[in-house]
Amino acid sequence: MSNTTKHDLIAEVSTVTGLTQADTKIVVEELLETIGQMLEQGRHIELRGFGTFYTKKRKPRPARNPKTGEVVPLFERMVPLFKYSSELKKKIAEGMKSAGAPAASAA
């Protein structure tokens, strides 16, 4: 399995939609920028059948620098999260079955 880059995504969407890659790049970049801005504002973005982007407040806690072992404080912060939809989960599972991949064992 390989990673897909933003360029790969733009090329795929361009092929499917018939738009030029330049136009598709504008749309994809604006979509990502808008999602980022909405998350900065604390808003949730729900894409039915795909998932939800949202932010969550993390409490302050002590952390440890793995190189030095020094305790470093982590302050309260907001982190972006993504929760996939059940429809997306089913599509991925079906794709794994059709590709002949072994099923993951339930723990």
The domain segmentation of the chain, as residue ranges, is 1-42, 44-96
Q: What is the mean pLDDT of residues 47-73?
A: 96
Q: Topology of 44-96 in CATH?
A: HU Protein; Chain A (4.10.520)
Q: What is the model's pTM? A: 0.75
Q: Which two tokens stand for residue 4?
A: 């897909």
Are residues 54 and 39 in contact, defined by beta-carbon separation less than 8 angstroms?
Answer: yes
Rg (C-alpha) for the chain, rounded Å, is: 19
- pLDDT class for 99, splitting at 50, 70, 90? confident
pLDDT of residue 96: 83
Sheet of strand 51-58: strand arrangement: 45-47, 51-58, 77-84
Give the rounded percent of residues in the chain with a pLDDT score beyond 70: 92
